Every structure is written in C-alpha cells, then in structure tokens.
Chain A
C-alpha cells in the first residue's frame, strides 16, 4: 500500500497525458456473482480507467429503471455489501492499479457500521465510495473513517446545487467530483451540453479536483462531448442494460467490451 491513492494516481497520470478518464459502472453480482470479477477485468482491458461498482440495494431511489433492474437481478443472485467487498478483494489479486469505487446507498453501510465498512473496504482494496443518499450534511462520520484509511469520498454536484453548497461539498470531496449532467434519475435522456460546460467552468473556480460527468451518456460521441470541459465521463446505464440483455456471461462481456472500447476511442480522439 502506498500513501497515494489509486484514484489520485490515475487522474494524475491521465492529466499528464492530456487524456480524459473513462469511469465505468456495473452492478456487483448482476449477471451472477461469479461473473463480476471477469467483467471488471474486461472493463479494464477495453479501456476503463476507473471502475464504479454498484452495491445493490433493495430501494435504489436515485436510479432509473435500467439500473433498478440491475440491482434487483443482483440481489436475487445473492449479492450484498459484504460480497461486493469480497469481489474487490478477488479483483485485486490480478489488478493492483485500477481504482475501484463503491457506489451505493447509506443503509447497507449503516448496518455494517461506518467504521467497520471503511476498514473492510481498505482491506479489500477499494479506493473510494460514493454514497448516493448521504449528502454533505450527513456524511461527516463516514468521511472521517474513510479518510483515516486513505480512502476517497466522491460527491455529486448537480445543475441545481447552489454556490454555497458547491463550496461546502468541494471542501469535503476527494478523489474526483461527479457532476450530474441533468435533472432526473440515472439513464435519463436530454443532455444540455451548453449548461454542462457552463457549470463545469463554474465548479472549477472552487476546486482543483478532477471533474467527471455522468447521467445520460449513451455512446462515444456523448461521452466525448460532455467531458470536453471536464476530466472524464461516467457511463452506467448503457453497460447495465447490456448485462441485463445478454443471453449469458460471455455475451455480456463481449457487448460491454465493445461499448467501452468505442467510448475509449472517442475520448482519445
């Protein structure tokens, strides 16, 4: 374990190369628990810089229908927060460099205990967490436990976040900032590129952290457009949809690989 966190290292490297980060989201255990680690390696082989591993929850309030179904499939297959940590541990046996972030909801972490979670996440080789329903006001305790273990706290900023809150949130945030490009749930349509650009420029005045843009990115060209003024793109629903539609694990891997490769190429153009 080095002092520097894998997320920081990866973004520093990308910045040095003048490249954008490709952040990829899948739901842990979706498509079968035994197939998640191979799928994570496939993401990396196809050009992903950061893996966001969705922790399935019974009530994923901020997700659109595609990711909701991913959570339901994963839970039906026996996934849980503990099993997610075990999957990351397994992934780390063959990948020591790719940053892994857990994206999920507060209750499974509360149930495990925030301190226990932070310690277990660090042990497993997790690099950070984004807890969707833990806004800055409620995040203090978890943030401290995470920071003690050199883990990063990823926060969302939205088109409706006020100036005052942008200041507060960027003070608490570490690793990178996740900018939600539209009003709505994950997987929604209607991107407004002009507003994304203006908002990213505004957020830059508050923080030097990398800014990644997500919600509503469907393909290489939308990834490229939204990240033009940011440091990276987050893609989720289109990957979860591919896993859900695939007839088996190898078909899922193949399709996910194609999508990620196309986005990588578009971002590197």
Chain B
C-alpha cells in the first residue's frame, strides 16, 4: 500500500528509459535502431501470456526455481541480533542469479530469429550463463572478457569453451569488464543483422536496465512470498551486493513500494574508500555517462574512467545500474561498502558455520548483514541475497592464503 503522493516504483523507467536524471540512451546513432527494435519486441512480449509462461517454465525446469529461503541459524547466533535468511541464488543452475536473465534474454533472442548471441563478462558467471543458454538453443556464442579477467578466472573460461562458446580476450584499456563491454558493443553494431547482445547487468542503454531487472525480479517476488510463508511478515531489511547491480535490483524491486522494508546495497570497498582502490561509485563517485547510460561513475577530474579494485572480479566495475543511482539520490536504498578483508572474513565464516561456500561477490552482502543483524533485535528478519556460489573463487582465496591448489 502506497501513500498518496508516494512514488510508485513499478512505473519506472519512463518511456525513454530514465530513472529520474539517470539511465537513458547515450549511444552512437549507429546503435539506435537496434535498441529501438529490441525495445519494441520486449514491450510487446513482456506481458504476453505465452512469453511469461515460457519464461516461468524455463525457470522452474531448467534453472531449478524457486530457490530456497534458508534461515542461517548458526550465523544468526554469532551475529547476535536479527534473524539472517539467505536467498539461495547459489543453488540455481550454473551457480548464480545471472541465469535468470540469460534464460529470459535467450527467449528474446529466439523470438528475434537471430542466430548468434554475444555477451561481456567479468568474473565469467554471466559468460557461463550465456554460453549455457546458447548451447541449449543451438545458437553461436561469443563472449568478450578482459584479458586480465581471463587470467584470474581461468576455470570459468574453460567452462565457457566446453559449452561451445568462443571467448575473446580484450586487450584494450584496463583489460577488465568495462573494456569487454565496449568490445561487445562494437561487435553488436557491426553484426547487428544476425546478432543478439545479452547484457549481463542492469546497466547499458535503455531498454537493458529495465529488462535485466525484470528478469531478475523473480528473486524478489519469490523472497516476498517466502517471507510471508516462513515468518508471516515482510522482512525488516534486505541486503545485496552491488557491482552493476542486477542481483540487488532483482531482490529489491518487488519490495520498493513496501516502504517499511529497509534496503542496503553493498558496494566493493576494496582496500578501503580512503585508499581510492575500490569499486564503489555510489559511495565515492559522481554522476556521468558511460556504456549508454547516465549513472554514478568512478572517474578522474578530466572525466576519464579510472580503474577499480575489488577482490571479487564480478564487482570490479566503475559504473552501476542507473536505477540504483536514482534509488540512492531519493534515499530509498542505502548504499554502503564492505572491503576486501571483510568480504573474505564473511566468506570463511559462512563456509564454516553453515556449510555454504558463497561467491566473493555475495560475501560482501554477508559481511554487511552480519554487522546489521548485530544492531537489530532477535524478532527482526534480514533477507540476504546469496547471489552466487564460491567454487569459482577457491583459487583466489587459496592464493591469498599462500596455498597452491
């Protein structure tokens, strides 16, 4: 129930893709017709009963949804406050929330009649999720990945190759996710006649921030229903990590109109905000234009995008989805940080207390939830998005521990 005069969050973005001053479509004219075509197709299909049924069918029988809402009892005991519930996106097929979106976009690709899909990837989770749906539909698949990420995420590179995808290391710029996204855009504009671009996060030009959000909103819709079933009320707080922000918006969006539910987006604090070596544009960036949308960015005084740092490759991105930028400005969501050390502590703590190995990305959310729970009372409930599993990260953690695996 929203009060008169309150914002109805379900009506955003507006027709031109804006969330307040953010979002929009900042691309070369060469891409406009492809985006118009995608937008027209999405708008005609998103409420189409056959399309919705096909999506729900794939989520149930291919992804394995609904994902459980799990009460982490020992973790709750250790935090000494509110009950901590984990939304287990790590149990999805391919091991993260990313597949919710790629299953949805694959249906769009199929509908468009295009025979080839492309994607950008950072940690490789979105690349794997894209290669997976491409294999299932028999589509040719090319994944762009920064050359630096290819090195630090080699298990996912091999998974993509096993799935039949071509992985192209991107040598330009900082050789990370942002450069992979530039390269995927260039491929798309060149091969738009036969190619569908599956963007992996809620950034990019309109309509991507909207459609990626809509596909991931299954997380929040389920969590809302499960909360009512399991503890008879809505959660007091939601916590999710934010890189581009797709898992966070997926959890938050179905609750935005429930003004009593507090929300916390956790950015990568890296080596600490003061060090400048982090990936927290909402905490320490300013609004600008990158990758087709206006949003908060990490940049220098000349407007050049600067390199980011995080122990987790999936959060290592200098921008953030435009809806998050707007939710920050209007104060609906509070954006905080967890640094590398806090995330690593949470990674170990969750593994040892609950037998759940979280992705380093999701560990940032767990780290903040532990602090938050301690400041709340035992009858309150926090839902944490456990957006992915940590198997891909064991080499990174082993290296930090000085162990060769």
Binding site for B on A (CB under 8 A): 57-65, 68-69, 72, 75, 80-82, 105-112, 132-135, 137-138, 155-158, 160-162, 165, 169, 180, 183-185, 188
**Can you name the residue of chain A whose Cβ is closest to the Cβ of B302?**
A80
B interface majority secondary structure: mixed
Q: Which residues of A contact B287 (CB under 8 A)?
A: 110
User: What residues of chain B lie closer than 8 Å to A80, measured between beta carbons?
Assistant: 302, 304
A180 contacts B302, C-beta separation under 8 Å: no
* Complex: chain A residue closest to B27, CB-CB: A133
Q: Are B29 and A156 within 8 A (Cβ)? A: yes
Is B303 a contact of A72 with CB atoms below 8 Å? no
Residues of B within 8 A of A (CB): 16, 24-30, 32-34, 36, 172-173, 178-179, 182, 185-186, 189-190, 192-193, 286-292, 297, 299, 301-306
Determine if A61 and B288 form an interchain contact, defined as CB atoms under 8 angstroms apart.
no
Most buried by B among A62, A69, A156, A169: A62
- Known contacts: A111-B301, A158-B29. The answer to whether A138 contacts B24 by CB under 8 A is yes
Given known pairs A57-B304, A111-B302, the reply for A180 and B30 (CB within 8 Å) is yes
CB of A111 within 8 A of CB of B288, answer yes
A109-B303, A110-B288 known; A61 and B182 CB under 8 Å? yes
Across the interface, A59 reaches (CB within 8 A) one of B30, B34, B291, namely B291
Q: How far is the CB of B393 from chain A (nearest CB, A)?
A: 27
Q: Which residues of B contact A62 (CB under 8 A)?
A: 28, 30, 186, 189
Q: Is the CB of A155 within 8 A of B25?
A: no
CA distance A65 to B297 in the complex (A): 24
The answer to whether A183 and B302 touch across the interface, beta carbons within 8 angstroms, is no
Q: What is the CA–CA distance of A62 and B26 in the complex, to the nearest angstrom?
A: 11
Q: Which 5 A-B pairs have the closest CB atoms?
A: A111-B303, A108-B303, A160-B33, A184-B190, A80-B302
Residue of A58, A105, A134, A180 with most partner-chain B CB within 10 A:
A58
Residue pair A135, B304 in contact (C-beta under 8 Å): no
Which single member of A64, A108, A138, A162 contacts B304 (CB below 8 Å)? Answer: A108
Least distance between A53 CB and chain B CB atoms (Å): 16
**A133 and B28 contacting across the interface, CB-CB below 8 Å:** yes
**B303's contact among A60, A68, A110, A155, by CB below 8 Å, is which?**
A110
**Inter-subunit contact B182/A156 (CB<8 Å):** no
Q: Which residues of A contact B32 (CB under 8 A)?
A: 135, 158, 160-161, 165
Inter-chain contact A133/B292, CB cutoff 8 Å: yes
**Residues from chain B with Cβ under 8 Å of A64 in the complex:** 186
**Whole-angstrom distance between the alpha carbons of A205 and B238 in the complex?**
56
Q: Is the CB of A107 within 8 A of B303?
A: yes
The reply to whether A106 and B289 form a contact with Cβ atoms under 8 Å apart is yes
* CB closest chain-A residue, reference B179: A59
Residues of A contacting B28 with CB < 8 Å?
61-62, 132-133, 135, 156
- Evaluate contact between B289 and A161: CB separation under 8 angstroms: no
Closest-by-CB residue of A relative to B35 is A135
